[in-house]
Amino acid sequence: MSKFDVAIGMDHTTLDTGTAQLFADPSARNTLFKGEDAGTFSSLAYTVSFDIQAAPAFDLAPGAAITALWPQSIDNTGKKSTGPLPGPSLFVLTFPKFAAQLALGTAKPVSGTADDVRVFCTLAVADGSVTLDPVSIWLDESRMAGIDRLILNQMLKKVLRKVEALLAGLKIPPLSFSKEGITVELTPPVAGIADGKLVAAVCLKSNGQPDLGGAAWPAKALFALVSGGAITAIARQALDAKVVNKEHHASGSITGASWGATAKCNSAAVTSDATDRTKVSAKIGFGLSAELKPLGVGGPCAVGAATSGM
């Protein structure tokens, strides 16, 4: 049974828009989508470069076919991945067009392109924030010479670091609320991938830990859900910060007397409309004190002033 007070979710189209915007930026294009590596192999100098030539796309519901690719993928050590395929937090980032070139010693450089490079990634929560983390990368190396494959695998470590920087630029909004003295205490977020959507959620601390299990998420590219309890808590905090226990003064005069009044809000009860969460109502309790003084109290007497010339 799902439980949350605030949840945000997005499908692959929202994330694809983010990578497309980065790819279209010339500075990001050179920084995040291109790279090179150099070194020596068997006493021969080599240089290898790569170019991600189209914006990557997210697959938040990868099929069973990726299971066979996982053992052939390369991790951040330049070696084949070991251990089981990551669980339900797994998603895949696909490079529609990936080009690489290798120059070894004095031999003629070798270059090629791949149309279906896969990066295995996971969704995680660290320090209260949702993160997207690359784990390994796969491309078809079946027709490569052994030495080319070994050098390319070392370069793929650098590709993973580029992907890490790329994903770090796609910020998942923090699930918190603090503004102008209003602070609502929320639990650390939980996150997961379900029904082809990336979802993160929190609860009010008083409601315990959130649970994403069994939820039916909106069929939207991007959505945010807020419970009535969370809206009520935020509205109550706003009233407490701006209205409750604040004094309001007024004064004036009428014929023959001056008056002063002080009103103080001492309570606020807030409810949200279950049919329209944008509507919130509040019942406010006020204490009122008023004072009426004849003119001249503490100064010239009004009656005395009126009769002094008689």
Q: Which residues of 163-182 are buried (b: 16+ CB within 10 A; e: fewer)?
A: bbebbeebebeebebeeeeb
Helix (H, G, I), strand (E, B) or coil at 239: helix
pLDDT digits (tens, 9 = 90+) for 108-156: 888 888 888 999 999 988 888 889 999 999 998 877 777 778 888 888 9
Query: What is the H or E stretch that residue 17 is in?
Result: helix 12-24
| CB neighbourhood size of 105 (10 A) | 11
| CB neighbourhood size of 50 (10 A) | 23
- pLDDT the model gives residue 26: 94
pLDDT digits (tens, 9 = 90+) for 60-98: 999 888 999 999 999 998 899 988 998 889 999 999 999
Tokens, residue 27 = 């500075």
Domain range annotation of the chain? 13-168, 230-310
| Pairing of β 117-126 and β 222-226 | unpaired
Predicted confidence (pLDDT) at residue 303 exceeds the cutoff of 50: no
Q: What is 111-161 written as a DSSP string? A: EEEES-EEEEEEEEEETTEEEEEEEEEE---TTS-HHHHHHHHHHHHHHHH
| Pairing of β 197-202 and β 44-52 | unpaired
Residue reference for tokens 């949702």: 130
272 Cβ neighbours under 8 A, 6+ residues apart:
228, 231, 232, 235, 279, 280, 281
pLDDT digits (tens, 9 = 90+) for 194-246: 889 999 998 888 889 999 988 889 899 988 888 877 777 766 666 565 555 56
Identify which of 275, 202, 214, 204 has the alpha carbon closest to the alpha carbon of residue 236.
204
Amino acid making up residue 9? G
Looking at the chain, the whole-number percentage of residues with pLDDT higher than 70 is 71
